[in-house]
């Protein structure tokens, strides 16, 4: 699952670090490309913007799902062509639009934003091809659609299409739909894809020009807890390929995009931290680790959700909380005798708890613990400035076994 000799070697340089394996990223991206031959993938860079990770994913022909100006520019700097960078995020300012309109396909997140892009295009004297993020009239799991801060409600979009089509400096040619991440059910994703293709047919009836791209968003999940059954990605690919075969007969010009962050890199990373101290307080054994809440926040958030929700299976709140028991803790020690411990961090807050009353081999100060599922929404989410600790290093292990180090 991870490379213990590499970890042991790096522990002599760093007492807490992320380790990303190129080999794992290549396995995941190859799996996607082979499973979905009619689709172009966009890397959702917000999941992990480590430069070597980005280099690796983009080297596989992925475009960019950018959520900020900086992410657009990270794609531009790596030579990604404009049509393979889609900038989709709520609340783009005029400045954001001015800085990216020549480098990315802008996906408007509201009708106001369409007007703002029209203004910028007019000022620049260009005609911009753009997409619109549509908040569909269907929900992810079936049942009524809910309100959303993202995109334009499908009903409003369909009604506005004649007006949008008449804007002189815009060609509205794309539809972006993303409702949910981290799904492991083939059946749910199949229905979701089917509903999306039907939405495009409804929109095309109202639009003057043929749509030329559909961005189907993400949804493809990874197993987090040991009881999760992994999604059958080749099977899902085959299903979508079948659906598209029919669809593309009527839409021969349509480019189909799927976004992914988590599937590409989520399983490629582990977090490694070291035991700094150990104590017993009124019968409870605490193991104090370096840079936990501040270095890899998600296990601590899981503890908070467990403490405050009072529910047996609290709902996901991506990307902060996915589910319970989403991270495994592996002690790097030869010790075979076990004990029950509570893992906490070295911050001056009682909220810095990563695991409560778990059974692990008896740990000594200086031993290391590996935490799994640290490749996505991990380093990027963690409050590393909290209490001015030295943040964990980020290490990238190439397929050849060389390690590239990033230390802030
Ligand atoms: C975050 C995000 C994604 C990526 O989701 P993953 O679960 O990491 O694949 C894709 N599309 C949009 C619009 C997003 O906001």
Contact 75, 66 (CB under 8 A): yes
Q: Report, as an integer, the average pLDDT of 286-314.
A: 95
Q: Is 215 in the pocket of ligand 1 (CB under 6 A)?
A: no
Check pLDDT > 80 for residue 39. yes
**Look-up: residue for tokens 């992810």?**
140
pLDDT in the model for residue 312? 83
Distances (CA, A) of 248 to 198, 220, 244, 350, 387: 12, 22, 6, 56, 54
Contact 28, 58 (CB under 8 A): no
Name the band, by pLDDT with cuts 50, 70 and 90, for residue 172.
very high
Q: Is 46 in the pocket of ligand 1 (CB under 6 A)?
A: yes
| Nearest of 136, 178, 180 to residue 157 by alpha carbon | 136
How far is 244 from 193, CA to CA, in rounded Å? 9
pLDDT in the model for residue 47? 98
Nearest CA to ligand 1 atom 13: 178
Name the band, by pLDDT with cuts 50, 70 and 90, for residue 142.
confident
Q: How does DSSP classify residue 395?
A: E
Distance 321 CA to ligand 1 centre (A): 14
How far is 140 from 144, CA to CA, in rounded Å? 9
Residues sharing a CB contact under 8 Å with residue 87, sequence separation 6 or more, in sequence order:
66, 67, 69, 71, 72, 100, 104, 105, 106, 107
Check pLDDT > 80 for residue 2. no
Contact 371, 328 (CB under 8 A): yes
Summarised one tens digit per residue, pLDDT across range 327-345 is 999 999 999 999 999 999 9
How far is 213 from 207, CA to CA, in rounded Å? 14
Whole-angstrom Cα Rg for the chain? 23
Check pLDDT > 90 for residue 108. yes
Name the band, by pLDDT with cuts 50, 70 and 90, for residue 192.
very high
Nearest CA to ligand 1 atom 9: 260
Cis previous bond, 319, omega within 30:
yes
Question: Mean pLDDT in the chain?
Answer: 97
Summarised one tens digit per residue, pLDDT across range 362-398 is 999 999 999 999 999 999 999 999 999 999 999 999 9
Nearest CA to ligand 1 atom 2: 44
Distance 242 CA to ligand 1 centre (A): 24
Summarised one tens digit per residue, pLDDT across range 66-85 is 999 999 999 999 999 999 99
Cross-strand pairs, 106: 87
Q: Is 262 in the pocket of ligand 1 (CB under 6 A)?
A: yes
Looking only at the bridges linking them, the beta strands covering 105-108 and 255-260 are unpaired
Task: Enter the pTM of the model.
Answer: 0.97
**Look-up: residue for tokens 């060609």?**
171
Check pLDDT > 90 for residue 310. no
Distance 328 CA to ligand 1 centre (A): 23
Name the band, by pLDDT with cuts 50, 70 and 90, for residue 1.
low
Q: Please report how many Cα atoms fall inside a 13 Å half-sphere around the Cα of residue 207, on the Cβ side.
A: 21
Distance 261 CA to ligand 1 centre (A): 6
Contact 365, 277 (CB under 8 A): yes
pLDDT in the model for residue 143? 86
The SS3 assignment for 330 reads strand
Distance 148 CA to ligand 1 centre (A): 15
């Amino acid at each position: 699952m991870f490379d213990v000799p590499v970890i042991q070697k790096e522990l002599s340089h760093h007492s807490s670090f992320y380790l990303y394996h190129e080999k794992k990223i290549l396995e995941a991206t190859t799996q996607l490309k082979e499973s979905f031959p009619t689709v172009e993938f966009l890397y959702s860079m917000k999941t992990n913007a480590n430069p070597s990770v980005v280099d690796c994913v983009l080297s596989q022909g992925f475009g960019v799902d950018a959520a900020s100006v900086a992410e657009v520019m990270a794609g531009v700097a790596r030579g990604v062509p404009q049509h393979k960078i889609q900038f989709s995020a709520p609340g783009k300012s005029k400045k954001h639009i001015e800085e990216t309109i020549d480098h990315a396909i802008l996906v408007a997140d509201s009708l106001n934003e369409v007007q703002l892009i029209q203004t910028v295009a007019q000022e620049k004297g260009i005609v911009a091809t753009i997409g619109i993020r549509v908040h569909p009239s269907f929900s992810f799991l079936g049942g009524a659609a809910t309100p959303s801060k993202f995109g334009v409600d499908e009903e409003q979009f369909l009604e506005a299409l004649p007006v949008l089509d008449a804007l002189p400096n815009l060609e509205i040619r794309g539809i972006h739909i993303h409702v949910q991440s981290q799904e492991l059910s083939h059946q749910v994703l199949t229905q979701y894809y089917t509903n999306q293709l039907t939405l495009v047919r409804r929109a095309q009836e109202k639009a003057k020009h043929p749509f030329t791209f559909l961005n189907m968003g993400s949804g493809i999940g990874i197993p987090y807890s040991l009881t999760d059954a992994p999604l059958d990605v080749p099977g899902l690919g085959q299903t979508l390929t079948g659906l598209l075969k029919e669809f593309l007969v009527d839409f021969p010009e349509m480019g189909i995009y799927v976004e992914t962050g988590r599937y590409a890199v989520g399983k490629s990373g582990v977090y490694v931290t070291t035991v700094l101290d150990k104590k017993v307080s009124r019968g409870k054994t605490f193991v104090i680790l370096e840079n936990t809440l501040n270095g890899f926040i998600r296990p601590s958030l899981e503890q908070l959700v467990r403490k405050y929700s009072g529910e047996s299976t609290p709902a996901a709140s991506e990307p902060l909380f996915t589910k319970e028991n989403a991270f495994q803790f592996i002690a790097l020690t030869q010790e075979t005798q076990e004990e029950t411990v509570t893992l906490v961090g070295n911050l001056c807050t009682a909220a810095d708890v990563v695991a409560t009353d778990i059974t692990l081999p008896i740990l000594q100060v200086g031993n290391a613990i590996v935490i799994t599922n640290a490749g996505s929404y991990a380093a990027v989410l963690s409050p590393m400035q909290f209490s001015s600790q030295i943040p964990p290093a980020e290490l990238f292990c190439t397929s050849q076994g060389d390690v590239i180090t990033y230390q802030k």
